[in-house]
Amino acid sequence: MGGTEQNFVQEAFEENWIAPLGPNVNGFESDIQNFTGVTHAAALSSGTGAIHLALDILGVGPKDLVLVQSFTFCASVNPIKYLGGEPVFIDSESETWNMCPKALQKALSFFKTNGSLDRVKAILPVHLYGMPAKIDEICAIAAEYGIPTVEDAAESIGSTLLGKHTGTFGDFGIYSFNGNKIITTSSGGALVSSSREKIELGRKLATQGRDDAPHYQHSMIGYNYRMSNVCAGIGRGQMEVLNDRITQRRENYIRYQEIFESINNSGYSIAFQEESPKAYSNRWLTAIYMDPERNKGKTREELRLYLEELNIEARPLWKPMHLQPVYEGALYFGTSVCEELFKHGLCLPSGSNLSKEDWIRIEDALWEFFT
Ligand SMILES: Cc1ncc(COP(=O)(O)O)c(C=O)c1O
């Protein structure tokens, strides 16, 4: 927490706005708009709910297809199934580790050739660990085929490409404010778009699809997805420290970069997600890739277990969705980029509050392991 969150929460209590609407909800939506430059935002109870609403508004239904990045958390994909649709998984490219534009092209031309392009209702890339995907290329391909884009920017609030915020390129963007994100409302999310109508519809669907009438009237099936005014109070305080948090996370990355530069100089080859000159990542998590051929036989899993013994938590990268038992048999386009990332990649401790002592422990452990 940054410090001012309690003031906003206190205000909610004093004004008795303990509901999924109120001044903090409106204020938090404005804060998101002002920070990202998006024109419309709806504060919701989760990022997963935001993806569900985006796909629902785009009309995804039974037997429809959504082309989604395979290398991601399950929440990017499950809402496709909530609506009866089918995910089609797309591989990553090896620079940003996000959706590969070439694999996306291949998938789209496959569906065009077999006459089922009209079943493709959306393209869903993810900005993993905060790193902007090649979203300009992805949106250009999507536009060529006339298919809308939903950007999963759950992990990347504050990241930009060509000076434009992730989440604001597609027809819809979503953010998450879950407890593990760079800023949090304990649990929460947002749906954003440049379309007023779409976000108004999103708010209505998030409020049980209630019509504008003095009594309870419903002409569509909605959900209970609005953010509480208490949680939004936390969000308002958190927005005040978002820039500081990004600076802290980027400093973590620079520190790891320096450590691994020295380790690489002694004959290893450890790589990070690449931030192109046109990108700016919030570096939510710093993750490494250990090429199995170029690290003297040392493996990711040995490193993870070594750190675990020292009570330093590190985790494998996301297991691709096309390898998940629950999505067995789904179509997949690409090669083995995301499979290799999963096999040989590791997320390192990346909190905004790593202390001097923490860093000494991490740095010593890494040096001991590699040398
Ligand atoms: C890539 C990605 N997409 C979607 C989500 C879902 O967000 P939430 O946990 O707010 O539902 C998360 C995080 O949890 C995520 O990391």
Interval 232-246 mean pLDDT: 97
Do 127 and 166 form a contact (C-beta atoms < 8 A)?
yes
Interval 90-99 mean pLDDT: 98
Q: Which pLDDT score is estimated for 20? A: 87
CA pair distance 371, 67, nearest whole angstrom: 43
Q: Which pLDDT score is estimated for 281? A: 98
CA pair distance 239, 279, nearest whole angstrom: 22
Q: Which pLDDT score is estimated for 3? A: 87
Q: Mean pLDDT, the chain, as a whole number? A: 97
User: Is a pLDDT exceeding 90 seen at residue 195?
Assistant: yes
User: Is a pLDDT exceeding 90 seen at residue 145?
Assistant: yes
Mutation test of ligand 1: which of 155, 231, 319 has the most ligand atoms closer than 8 Å to its C-beta?
A: 155
Q: What is the pLDDT of residues 78-90, one digit of tens each?
A: 999 999 999 999 9
How many beta carbons lie within 10 A of that of residue 294, not counting itself? 12
Mark residue 272 as left, alpha or beta (left: phi above 0; alpha: psi -120 to 50; beta: remaining). beta
CA pair distance 53, 113, nearest whole angstrom: 30
For ligand 1, whether the C-beta of 12 sits within 6 Å is no
C-alpha dist (Å) from residue 45 to 80, 139, 210, 230, 261 = 18, 27, 17, 11, 41
Output the CA torsion sign for 230, 232, 8, 245. Answer: positive
Q: Would you give the DSSP letter of residue 335?
A: -
Nearest to 140 by CA among 151, 149, 128: 149
Q: How confident is the model at residue 19 (pLDDT cuts 50, 70, 90)?
A: confident
Q: What is the pLDDT of residues 306-345, one digit of tens each?
A: 999 999 999 999 999 999 999 999 999 999 999 999 999 9
For ligand 1, whether the C-beta of 45 sits within 6 Å is no
Q: What is the percent of the chain where pLDDT is above 90?
A: 98
Closest-CA residue, ligand 1 atom 9, reads 178
Q: Rounded to the nearest whole angstrom, what is the distance from the C-alpha of residue 293 to the centroid of ligand 1?
A: 33
Q: How confident is the model at residue 129 (pLDDT cuts 50, 70, 90)?
A: very high
CA pair distance 371, 181, nearest whole angstrom: 33
Q: Which pLDDT score is estimated for 61? A: 98
H helices present in 58-154, as ranges: 78-82, 101-113, 135-145
C-alpha dist (Å) from residue 28 to 37, 158, 194 = 14, 15, 17
Q: How confident is the model at residue 273 (pLDDT cuts 50, 70, 90)?
A: very high
Q: Would you give the DSSP letter of residue 272?
A: -
For ligand 1, whether the C-beta of 155 sits within 6 Å is yes
Q: Which pLDDT score is estimated for 229? A: 97
Q: What is the pLDDT of residues 34-63, one digit of tens each?
A: 999 999 999 999 999 999 999 999 999 999
Q: How confident is the model at residue 153 (pLDDT cuts 50, 70, 90)?
A: very high
Q: Which pLDDT score is estimated for 284? A: 98
For ligand 1, whether the C-beta of 46 sits within 6 Å is yes
Q: Which pLDDT score is estimated for 299? A: 97
Interval 191-204 mean pLDDT: 98
Strands 120-124 vs 65-69: parallel, antiparallel or unpaired: parallel
Nearest ligand 1 atom to alpha carbon 178: 10
C-alpha dist (Å) from residue 97 to 35, 75, 93, 140, 213 = 26, 18, 5, 19, 48
Q: What is the pLDDT of residues 346-367, one digit of tens each?
A: 999 999 999 999 999 999 999 9
For ligand 1, whether the C-beta of 75 sits within 6 Å is yes
